Amino acid sequence: MTTLSFAKINIFLKITGTCGSYHMLLSRFMLLKELFDSISFLPKTKNSSEFLLKGNFNCDLEQNSIYKAYKELLKTEHKEKIVKFFNSYFIEVDKNIPIGSGLGGGSSNAASFLLFCNEELELNLTKEKLSQIAIKIGSDLPFFIHEYNFANVEGVGEKVFCFEDKKLNLEVKTLPISCNTKSVYTHFRKNRLNEIDLKLAKELKGLKSEEILTNYSPFSLNDLFNSTLALYPELNEHVKDGWFLSGSGSSLFRIKNV
C-alpha cells in the first residue's frame, strides 16, 4: 500500500503579526504535484510493537513528522486500532522532496500519513478534526490535509481557504542548502518585524497567482526572503532573473517561458 506526498510552493508569504512564539501569516499555497515522496506501508516479517520508519531522513525518529503524527493519533479514541495495524506494518518513505527546501516535504509526509490512516483504518475523522491534530505537528500540515490545489492560509496555518486558480507552469530549482525554518523566523522577528505590510497582504489575498507573480517583486512577496539570504548568503548568487523563494527554504521558482 503506497500513498503519494506532494510538495508545495508559497506563491506569496506575508507575516501579519505574532502570537507568543508563533508568527501569524497570510500565504497562498499551491500544491506541486510534479514533485512528491512515496510513502509505503509494508508488512513486517514478524509482528512487533515497535513503530518502524525507514527513509533518508536527517533527524531522529522522535523528531520525524510522521512519528509525531503517529503519536498524536494515539491520543484519539482509535488508539487500539492504530497500534494493532502498526504491530503488523512498517513505513518506508522514498524521499524526493529535498529536506529544508521550503517545499513542505516533512509536513506533507505527516499529512499524507494521517489521511492514509484515516481512510485505511476507517477512523472516520473529519477534515476539521484531522486539521486540529495536524496543526499540533506543524503549521503547513492543515493545507495538505485539505488537499486543495490552491489555498489562502492564515493564522498560524490552521485557517485554510480553497482558492480557485488555474494550474501554473512553474520552473523550480532547489539548491543544495538545507535551510532551518526556525532560524529564519527568529532572524525575521529580531530584524524585520517592523516591516510588516498588512495592506499588501490583504491586496494579494484576492489576486490570481499568475497575476501576483507577473506584477510583484520576489522580495515584496516573501517576507522571509531577506532573512533567508542573511543566514544563507550562498543563495545570493542565484537570486536573479525573476526567481521567487518558496517558504523559508532554498527552493526558487518562476513561471516558465513558453
Cα–Cα separations (whole angstroms), residue 162 to 106, 113, 149: 22, 22, 8
Give the separation between CA 238 and CA 36, rounded to whole angstroms. 24
Give the separation between CA 98 and CA 153, rounded to whole angstroms. 23
**31-70 residues labelled b (16+ CB within 10 A) or e (exposed):** bbeebbbebebeeeeeeeeebebebebeeeeeebbbbbbb
3-state secondary structure 24-64: EEEEEEEEEEEEEEEEEEEECCCCCCCCCEEECCCCCHHHC
The length of the chain is: 258
CA dihedral 186, 29, 123, 5 (to 10 degrees): -90
Give the separation between CA 58 and CA 73, rounded to whole angstroms. 23
Q: Which sequence positions are flagged as catalytic?
A: 8, 140
Give the separation between CA 181 and CA 172, rounded to whole angstroms. 19
> Residues with Cβ < 8 Å from 192, sequence gap 6 or more?
223, 226, 227
